[in-house]
Structure 1
Amino acid sequence: MIRVLVVDDEELVRSGLRMILEASDDLSVVAEARDGAEAVAAAGRHRPDVVLMDVRMPGTDGLAAAAAITALPDAPKVVMLTTFDLDEYVHAALRAGAVGFLLKDTPPRELAGAVRTVAAGHAMLSPQVTRRLISAFARRGPTRAQAARRRLAGLTAREAAVVRAVGDGLSNAEIGRRLAMREATVKAHVSRALAKLSLTNRVQAAILVHEAQE
């Protein structure tokens, strides 16, 4: 059973999300929170696997809460929910360690699938906004691009090839086929590369790759 914490300042939205998620036998909403401060407390108390959290809330917003929650020991996966497909809060939340970004009008089946995806350790970005989100990070000018290239230069050739494939949005299995590697070997390279780059997830690695290409 995948345990989910739902965070939104609107009770109607929280109720809707609960109904969608609990329609699946493998998903359970273990708690709800109305703002970021409640979310951090609930994450520590209930130890969910996944947090679905609104970006914009009164008081402690989703950005601050995401940073606090992803810093917890054995932190849950954080997925940001927003009505805006390009939101600077979401950009910053991804940098803070959130692994998902979905629009609130995501169809119910896709929402449940996204929860399963991040619970399994994968990133999940709404298909409608992935390209624009990555492009927004890449349009940060030559200084950021140069810094990204310097960071990537510390990787071995094989690690760099794997990270570039991550930047193309490939899964471990797809990377293995592209680079003629076992999937377990790909996973090991990804883990080492993330550690060397001081990143916490594949979304951040993909962003770094696209920044370097600017």
Structure 2
Amino acid sequence: MTTVLIVTDQALQGLGLRMFLQTQTDLTVVGDVIGSDQAVQAAIALQPDVVLLDIDRPDIERVRTIRRITRPKSRDRKPCADLVSRLPPQVLVLTPCDIDEYSYAALRAGAAGLLLRDALPGEVTTAIHLVAHGGSVLSPRLTAALVKAVREHGATDIRERTLKLSRLTEREIEVLTALASGWSNTEISEQLCIAPTTIKTHISNILTKIGGRARVQAVVFAYETGLVRPPWQQPRPHDSGSSVHR
């Protein structure tokens, strides 16, 4: 059973999401709150698997909220929280529009997924389950915004990113390239001739080396370093022009 905390800007939004998610037999809504401060406190107290952040006004405060939820500092932890070896919740953001700057900042802050608010109900529930199990979600309409934002920020922290990239092994770079190109674990497994469990290990090692938590952050890193081109320019695994080597 996947547990969900709903965070909104308005009570009516939260009520609507709660009513919908409670109809899903494999999801449990553990709470719904309004505003950033309540979001952080509730995430610490309730320890949900996923925080569904539905926002009206994408701004720096919301980015800070994502960071405080996914990377809690000692001042944010509840007493004796360290006694429970539980990872911070994954954050799935519902955003009203494809804002370049916000999409980029939210992912760098630790969000595991971004969906536009007009996503279909089934897309939302699927996304919740994906991020709860360590996956990542990015609305296709937000991908272009992400690539544009990465390009605009490309001149910053170049040395740091280059250093992190140099720490990856040749195989990890192959896996990262395939992952950022939109390939599934099955496709990567077939192309690189390695077991799915080994792919998961590689991805875990990549995240550790680049200082990320979610797969989508690895994708952002791949764009930032110029390791991959935008998805619409990438060949699929069955294409003869595939850039990933066996």
Q: TM-score, normalised by structure 2?
A: 0.79
Partner of 1:179: 192
Residue 57 of structure 1: how far off its partner (Å):
5.5
Residue 55 of structure 1: how far off its partner (Å):
4.2
Partner of 2:71: 71
Check the 8 A contact 2:103/2:145 in 1, yes or no: no
- Of residues 113, 116, 122, the one that matches 2:135 is 122
Q: 1:176 to 1:135 in 2, by over 3 A?
A: farther
Secondary structure in 1 matching 2:167? coil
**Unmatched 5+ stretches in structure 1:** none
Q: 1:2 to 1:17 in 2, by over 3 A?
A: same
Q: Identity, % of aligned pairs?
A: 40
Partner Cα separation in structure 2 for residue 9 and residue 140 of structure 1:
29
Secondary structure in 2 matching 1:163? helix
Structure 1 runs of 4+ with >6 Å offset: none
Cα shift readout 1:55-113 (whole Å, capped 9, x = no counterpart): 45699932111111102451011011210212423322211111011111111111111
Check the 8 A contact 1:50/1:77 in 2, yes or no: yes
Structural mapping, 1:128-139, within 5 Å: 128-139=141-152
Secondary structure in 2 matching 1:129? helix
Q: Which moved more, 1:146-155 or 1:99-108?
A: 146-155
Check the 8 A contact 1:37/1:60 in 2, yes or no: no
Partner of 1:53: 53
Structural mapping, 1:5-44, within 5 Å: 5-44=5-44
Task: Select the structure of larger CA radius of gyration.
Answer: 2
Structural mapping, 1:155-166, within 5 Å: 155-166=168-179
**Unmatched 5+ stretches in structure 2:** 73-85, 230-246
Computed over aligned residues only, the root mean square deviation of the Cα atoms, in angstroms, reads 2.2
Partner Cα separation in structure 2 for residue 133 and residue 212 of structure 1:
14
- Of residues 172, 191, 202, the one that matches 1:189 is 202
| 1:128 partner letter | R
Partner Cα separation in structure 2 for residue 149 and residue 162 of structure 1:
17
Secondary structure in 2 matching 1:61? helix
Q: TM-score, normalised by structure 1?
A: 0.91
Check the 8 A contact 1:54/1:62 in 2, yes or no: no
Residue 139 of structure 1: how far off its partner (Å):
3.3
Check the 8 A contact 2:58/2:95 in 1, yes or no: no
Cα shift readout 1:137-180 (whole Å, capped 9, x = no counterpart): 13334555665344212211111111111111222222111211
- Of residues 198, 201, 221, the one that matches 1:208 is 221
Q: 1:59 to 1:83 in 2, by over 3 A?
A: closer
Check the 8 A contact 1:35/1:59 in 2, yes or no: no
Paired residues in the alignment total: 214
